[in-house]
Structure 1
Amino acid sequence: MKIAIGSDHAGFELKEKIKKYLMDKDIDVLDFGTDNKESVDYPDFAEKVGTSVKNKEVEFGILICGTGIGMSIAANKIKGIRAALCTIPEMASLARKHNNANILVLPGRLIGFELATWILDAFLNATFEGGRHERRISKISRLEE
């Protein structure tokens, strides 16, 4: 599995910890930055990770900013991206199962590393259920046209 990851300055520390966590699980990580805590603009990183997911260079993306809201808004502007801001594991699982989310967004200032790993694991261990959910995803895709 290969995952793209990116953050702004507020999500930098959590990004670095999650990157190591994934690499320790033998998951390939494509890090789009940022590389330090200096102030940056989150849309730049949402675009890089979102484009990587859209172009199928990776299976999933992870984005982290202070609240997760900005990253979610920015990433969801990219056609084909379904970025889900998740604060508990059940949200992450259902985002994959029901919404076929392809980017997990985490709030770096609102959750700790341990909770972030639980959310991440729930996201990665869930699979899209299809069925009635496929019809809804198709309707979302039509909104992008």
Structure 2
Amino acid sequence: MRIAVGSDHRGVHLREKILDLLERMGIPTVDVGTRYPEPPVDYPDIAAQVASKVARGEVDRGILICGTGIGMAIVANK
């Protein structure tokens, strides 16, 4: 199983922890970013990248992290 992980600027630190955990578990990942808490990024851009990778079969699952999770979920389900 291969998992894409992406976050907006509010989820950077949690994204890093998730990537580290998945790596220690031996699960291949694709880091979609963002890598820094500043400058702010638009969550729809990250969510669309992860969702596209899942839809195209490049990855099996996607994990999205933002301030509330609501916006990312809406974009990913379109």
Q: TM-score, normalised by structure 1?
A: 0.52
Residues 1:29 and 2:40 aligned together: no
* 1:61 aligned onto 2:56: no
The alignment partner of 2:48 has SS state of helix
What residue is the counterpart of 1:2 in the other structure? 2
Offset of 1:10 from its aligned partner? 0.6
Unaligned runs of 5+ in 2: none
* 1:9 CA displacement: 0.5
Runs (4+) off by over 6 Å: none
| Amino acid paired to 2:74 | I
Name stretches of at least 5 consecutive residues in structure 1 with no aligned partner.
Answer: 78-145
Percent of aligned pairs with the same residue?
56
Query: Which whole-Å CA distance do the structure 1 matches of 2:22 and 2:67 have between them?
Result: 21
Secondary structure of residue in 2 paired with 1:32: strand
1:37 offset after TM fit, Å? Answer: 0.1
How far residue 25 of structure 1 moved from its aligned partner, in angstroms, is 0.3
**How many angstroms does 1:6 deviate by?**
0.3
- Counterpart for residue 46 of structure 1: 47
Q: Deviations over 1:33-75 (max 9, x none)?
A: 0010011000000010000000011110000001101101111
Tell me, in whole angstroms, the C-alpha distance in 2 between the residues paired with 1:13 and 1:61: 17
Question: What is the CA–CA distance in structure 2 between the aligned matches of 1:17 and 1:5, rounded to whole Å?
Answer: 11
**Which is higher, the Rg of structure 1 or of structure 2?**
1
Number of the residue aligned with 1:13: 13
Q: Distance in 2 between matches of 1:28 and 1:57?
A: 12
Over the residues paired in the alignment, what is the CA RMSD in angstroms? 0.5
TM-score w.r.t. the length of structure 2 is 0.96
- Counterparts of 1:59 and 1:23, CA distance in 2: 16
